[in-house]
Structure 1
């Protein structure tokens, strides 16, 4: 997309990257040698490797064992991860490994296209509200932009997916959703069952009835230490399934800390063939705070462009979410109020990333 712009003229840069759809990739392709001012994060939001805890190595779960004699042990490991870090990885999960490789290939293929091919999916232009291409998270509200481009595809039905999703990635993205659905229900069944709550299939379907698959692209960055790929946040939904490539860069916050200086962040190391699972705000609300939605963020790298492909499994917008009544009776207090998920979602997408502040919307 032909356009002239100045790296450190904020309006010019914003128009080029956001409004014209060139994205961060367009910046990198233009030959920039340092991060523009608009992307420089305040020091407290940068990922300081001095404060990075050792990589997580002991939260990889063989999901095939959930159906065998080690069921109780595996279920315990899943619930422990959800109660503590809010993140774990699964192997032998039922999603074909060749499909995972294809997802990485088509993600690179989509973002390698000329800007005008991707810009047809920009907000307000896209042929369907179910497909959105963009950059950063809420660029209009962010003081410092995130070093990321993405395409987001919301699943309603197969017909809409075939008609409206980008040709470069629709078949594999659709297959990714379909082959992961059983795994997500199995995990959710385990987690809800562990709370002593009975949820039938229709209730489980409601809680993961809306699915969004994103393809995220993090171009190489000349000064990775001053910016972020994604700022600190938790996900809004029930469970997120994430495919990351072999480059790494996903960090999750460990526990609560009194100050930003004392925080510990753990890198979720890429494991070949594994999928990363994380607890979202909805599951924290449903569990009355027992399960922890994971606060996480993504660093950039100067060596190689990175892709990741999450599926956000969320309730349908018309579903009310609140702590399970059995838990409120047992705990003697409701830590969250009941809200319509559609309202929670609108609030989430109306604000820039700010840790777990999104949960305040449902606080009792």
Structure 2
């Protein structure tokens, strides 16, 4: 029922077939005009010391094996400043990360005709296709995805009719482990920010939260400097936990690195075996804007495939959120920046105004 409710929240925005079906990337040797992006506004910061002309932002790398008092404080500071940190010694075995990366590559290596057997429905969330928010942009992105909300079995059977169980076993094990990690992280961050225990339980209990898993592939591109792997956006989540693999591409926008005070884009260089954690819109809201929702994108710079696996830790669709500081949580007397909003309403507002959704709930 929980997954159905969130699927319905997204599914009220029906897509057209061309908004779902990715390009057959293996059938083209030049960049189609439909995938040529104009130069993005704002500076792209350059640091020649980075080796490839891309600035690498020094986002915190946090060791989860140290005492929680210390790691929790560091997480709060990272959420306040960057909205992103990388987590090491997180308890997810390296062989599990390698297995999910291998299954992701196995999926996207299938012929286009086979992948289309598992195509997402026009009002669905699960299955193969372009990212749902791709429909909000004029140009197409150079990626393909596979979304798992609940069990992947129905779609996996269409991909591998006689050999789908191995994929399901790896994906379901990964989902379970990452959900447990996400719940621990959210609880620790909120406790370290002096949020009352009853408020933490209300918004982060198993019955109040769920996960969506997103497998992404960014194939080699014939003209990567004019294409966009993933357009700039923020996540509709409490937290997003991303395994990047070993290929760079994820950038965040930050004022902290900007020349002339204007801000700019910088790379989040993947740490071996690390998990990249970023703040989503909904944690930004409940923190009363204390935590910075991370605006990010994926650029194409390497002439090889990049895959990533993101887990979105989200409240259920009917959950009503408002700044916890205004309910006695960690900031008595603080002025609320946002009104109360249900997750379902927030999703609707984001589809109507992708760049202005937070303004729509500002008091």
The normalised TM-score by structure 2 is 0.82
Relative to structure 1, the CA distance from residue 187 to residue 328 in structure 2 (aligned partners, 3 Å threshold; closer, same or farther) is closer
Q: Deviations over 1:294-323 (max 9, x none)?
A: 111110135101100000000000100111
Relative to structure 1, the CA distance from residue 173 to residue 360 in structure 2 (aligned partners, 3 Å threshold; closer, same or farther) is farther
Tell me which of 315, 320, 337 is aligned to 1:335: 337
* Native 8 Å contact 2:43 2:263 kept in 1: no
Give 1:1-364 correspondences, 5 Å limit: 18=19, 21=21, 23-24=22-23, 26=24, 28-33=25-30, 35-45=31-41, 48=44, 50=46, 54-57=55-58, 59-66=60-67, 71-124=68-121, 129=124, 131-155=126-150, 160-165=151-156, 167=164, 169-200=167-198, 201=201, 203-205=203-205, 209-255=209-255, 262-324=262-324, 325-327=327-329, 330-348=332-350, 350=351, 354=355, 357-364=356-363
- C-alpha separation in 1, matches of 2:195 and 2:354: 32
Q: Secondary structure at the match of 1:184?
A: helix
Q: Secondary structure at the match of 1:109?
A: helix
**Which structure 1 residue ranges, 5 or more long, are not aligned?**
1-14
**Alpha-carbon deviation of 1:97?**
1.0
Q: Deviations over 1:82-124 (max 9, x none)?
A: 0010000111111121010111111111111122222123232
Deviating more after overlay: 102-111 vs 39-48? 39-48
The normalised TM-score by structure 1 is 0.81
Q: Secondary structure at the match of 1:103?
A: helix
- C-alpha separation in 2, matches of 1:362 and 1:138: 20
- C-alpha separation in 1, matches of 2:65 and 2:218: 32
Deviating more after overlay: 162-171 vs 331-340? 162-171
* Native 8 Å contact 1:150 1:217 kept in 2: yes
* Native 8 Å contact 2:208 2:319 kept in 1: no
**Alpha-carbon deviation of 1:125?**
7.0
- C-alpha separation in 2, matches of 1:53 and 1:239: 26
**Alpha-carbon deviation of 1:256?**
7.4
Q: Secondary structure at the match of 1:41?
A: coil
* Native 8 Å contact 2:44 2:264 kept in 1: no
Q: Secondary structure at the match of 2:40?
A: helix
Root-mean-square deviation over aligned CA pairs: 3.0
- C-alpha separation in 2, matches of 1:17 and 1:261: 40
**Alpha-carbon deviation of 1:203?**
3.5
* Native 8 Å contact 1:222 1:302 kept in 2: no
